[in-house]
Structure 1
């Protein structure tokens, strides 16, 4: 489509993430996007959602919605196990997709999604909104220009807190329905931003544990990562941390750049510390005033609508959307096998390509402190 008319948008899944994040972003982009339908397997919920938000059509069947509403763009906001089949159905119907993270439960499912994309679209983008804030874009430009020197060391921390009630929702904390623990469902945002800035990883060594929550998956993971550039990083993913924080640190030859936030950042959350040999004038240029765009679903939606209008592949689709899932897969494989994992080995003949737990019937890490759910 072109910018001559509004994009017809549908929402699939009318739970909390649709209400809190996706719908407000769509309302803010009402000049370019019109929500024409919503779909949910719960008829009462989708009808109430549509009535509250003045959405013309409510559906409980995805195929029927796609046929009758003819959306240009579908926001997929359902639990992770449903993503792959729903995204493929939307692509086959000619609709672009913005899919909540995690995009699916395995690299095999992700490759099924990309196989359904057309050469010139439609494309399926993953919600990795932290890439689209002006602070991240600024750092990306500086890295690309070599302004900060070579990347050397990084820290990537997702220290969040989710109590047991959070995991008592039937689909959470289970390999078959959520796909993984905080490595997949929570830390993926920070890991995606780290990868978008530092490039491809080459090798990962990891541990994971189920220390306090009654779940099938892990509730904490730790990893060390070597990038193809030679840079090295540590990664922490936790849902056991009462003082919550999302933290990224990048050490270059000429500067340290830090980002502290929780679920979203502004330009003021980025701190640049020059190396002793860098002049004040040079360092001041790194943080010159710019038009601020906080990281958010709106920032990503605006960029996605630009891509839809131009018929261009979005940054978090295809290879761009696969990077974080590759690292997640490598972390799980290393944690399960107790050995280093190279990115190059995550191929279709690897069991971890098909299941993030490698097909193991039941995982009991050495650090387990609680019993898994049955």
Structure 2
């Protein structure tokens, strides 16, 4: 267990950050987010197994130190925050190393390939003031999701009844040419794990805990180990019923969440990020116009983004508080995905809390099954 970093250690200075993995997500999302908060954070190092890539990342981003060895970087630079932008199979080892060095962690989704890996990460977290490991779930953040979360929590829209959660994207054969994609051991799953996790996480953040899942999955197009489409029926603890669709087979790409409540329908339609204009609230006929107008007042437009989540994470670090998207709060989406896969492979309804140590789906998202169960066999057409 690491020695906790007390919050006062960050007082009066910028947070020292390091980026691990200098590929597209590190260059395109993490470094710009860190740069946008330069008054709060300074990037002191970057790590990549490719020395030339690390050096180019540092040169282009004004980062002083390039490394190919994570442990050496942690020992020499002693960052306060490590952002992890590597393939999922590396996340557990790298997160644990950073936590043991006393650094907080902000890790790209999926956080780790299995629930067992997540438990191992939780075991390395500090207590009280941290350090903690949080997941990049940027769709939770921004003015639109904040307003809708508040309305639902306060009961202003009435009881949630019917929910649709859709991540229907398109990925071609070239996408799966990357060696770690489409494999259970290295990606952890298909579009449910690597794509739909964002919308499912936002759905859970808005609606609270789920109670049971029934699902199907299949490989309809791509020659990969994992699924390329899945569907699920989810019952929430509050009684609401949801349909969830995750696909990489959909030319007309969209990300969508719709919640039909007693007094209004809330719908979010976007692709990779949302603004106020992407949310629509349709009141029931008996709702006064003035009340509906207040619901639609989202305030200044703050898009969902890595920047907004990082801003809140830094505030949590300075306060010495567990951030959103970590611990039990971060585990909820991974638990739902594990349940989706278990139901798809076994044909059974899976209950919340069912998958724990001793369950094959705790240590592998496909339950160590030798192949697809009949319910999810790859479709073959003449």
TM-score, normalized by length of structure 1?
A: 0.97
Report matched runs for 1:111-260 at 5 Å: 111-120=119-128, 121-260=130-269
Tell me, which stretches of 5 or more residues in structure 1 are unaligned? Answer: none
Report matched runs for 1:1-374 at 5 Å: 1-120=9-128, 121-363=130-372, 366-369=376-379
- How far apart in 2 are the matches of 1:218 and 1:3? 47
- Deviation, 1:292, is 1.9
Contact 2:144 2:298 in 1 (8 A): no
TM-score, normalized by length of structure 2?
A: 0.95
- Deviation, 1:289, is 4.8
Contact 1:213 1:219 in 2 (8 A): yes
- How far apart in 2 are the matches of 1:3 and 1:337? 52
- How far apart in 2 are the matches of 1:122 and 1:277? 49
Contact 2:345 2:373 in 1 (8 A): no
What do the CA deviations read for 1:69-88 (whole angstroms, capped 9, x no partner)? 11000000000000011001
Q: How many residues get paired?
A: 371
- How far apart in 1 are the matches of 2:106 and 2:56? 23
- Deviation, 1:369, is 3.5
Secondary structure of 2:162 counterpart:
strand
What do the CA deviations read for 1:91-125 (whole angstroms, capped 9, x no partner)? 01000000000000111100111110011200001
What do the CA deviations read for 1:239-277 (whole angstroms, capped 9, x no partner)? 000010000000110000000000000011100000111
- How far apart in 1 are the matches of 2:340 and 2:38? 40
What do the CA deviations read for 1:18-75 (whole angstroms, capped 9, x no partner)? 0111111111000000000000111111111111212111111111000001100000
Contact 2:142 2:302 in 1 (8 A): yes
- Deviation, 1:287, is 1.3
Contact 1:2 1:310 in 2 (8 A): no
